Amino acid sequence: MVAVIDNRLDHADFLCDHCGQTFRIIYNREDMIDWLSGSMYIQDAMPYLTNGERELLLSGTCDVCFDKLFPPLDNDE
């Protein structure tokens, strides 16, 4: 059973294409449809998701792998 968070009733498991780890994301179905249809940007359709969750949906890359692929720039240089 999935806990109801706000009006988010749907969930799906998403696989990171780089490390193979699976992540469960809880979302509102209408919001997902709005994003997938192209009528809204993901950050506007699902602002309640974390940046990492949205990146996983967009690129198939989890937070840890994203940071390995694109390490933060050292501003001291």
Interior/surface letters 27-66, b for 16+ CB within 10 angstroms, e for the rest: bbeebbebbeeeeeebeebbeebeebbbbbbeeebbeebb
User: What are the pLDDT digits (tens) for 4-63?
Assistant: 556 668 999 999 999 999 999 999 999 999 999 999 999 999 999 999 999 999 999 999
What string of H, E and C letters represents the secondary structure of 27-71?
ECHHHHHHHHHCCCCHHHHCCCCCHHHHHHHHHCCCHHHHHHHCC
pTM over 0.85: no
pLDDT score, position 76:
60
CB count within 10 Å of CB 25 equals 19
Beta bridge partners of 34: none
